[in-house]
Amino acid sequence: MQNIYHGGEHPGVGEIPAALAAQLRPIQKAENRRCSEAVIRVLNRIRTDIEQFPAANNAPGTAVYVHPGRDGDAGLAVAHAFVDEKLGWSRKAPVCRELFLTHRLIAAKAGYGDLLALYAERGSFARDRLMDGEDESIAYFLKRVEPLAAAWADGDHGRTLSLLRTNGHKLSSNADKRTARQALDELVHLGGEGSIGELTGHMELPETGRCRTRFQAR
């Protein structure tokens, strides 16, 4: 499911007046390029508003839908027990994936449940902007920090230098390069092992109080 919102002063379209809504024609995207054929069949049995079909070389796959009847960790434990004991599947296998149908479960599994709850308190538009990556703080990480860290972690020095230049960096001396290497190594380490507080602390310059890396990311 996708929603498109305007930017600038009006981050959400809100309610559309009836006169304007009458002129609009909904476009349903029934093509599914990401899920296996088995997952698509399960989704089609759950949803009644749209029927999807494979649109690429989708893997055949095997899928099962489990509704544990309980919330939180207790419900997940029931679902896991069913998959492990009744089906005999190995959830640790590289080809096995767990798909969750609610943002709350997804957030809890990925470790950002508290963050989602905080944005939910700000209203539905704030939560949607978080999930879509449109929130200003989240977009900073998605568009600037993550690509830089990924390029450095992959050993792609050419792309790393390109991203640094795009963001206004000038590595004009060996000292600048050493500082950048150290900052990037720490950025990658904290991205995998550190807390959000440690990561943002690494990106903050004390004299400005702004969210910038030690090598002055803009």
Q: What pLDDT score was predicted for residue 202?
A: 85
Q: What pLDDT score was predicted for residue 210?
A: 42
Q: What pLDDT score was predicted for residue 15?
A: 63
103 contact partners, CB below 8 Å, separation of at least 6: 116, 127, 131
Return phi, psi of residue 32, to 5°.
-125, 115
- Taking 50 as the pLDDT cut, the residues of the chain under it are 1-3, 5-12, 205-218
Task: Express each pLDDT in 115-139 by its tens digit.
Answer: 888 888 888 788 888 888 888 888 8
pTM assigned to the model? 0.52
Which amino acid is located at 53 in the chain? F
Task: Express each pLDDT in 170-185 by its tens digit.
Answer: 888 888 888 889 999 9
Q: What pLDDT score was predicted for residue 98?
A: 85
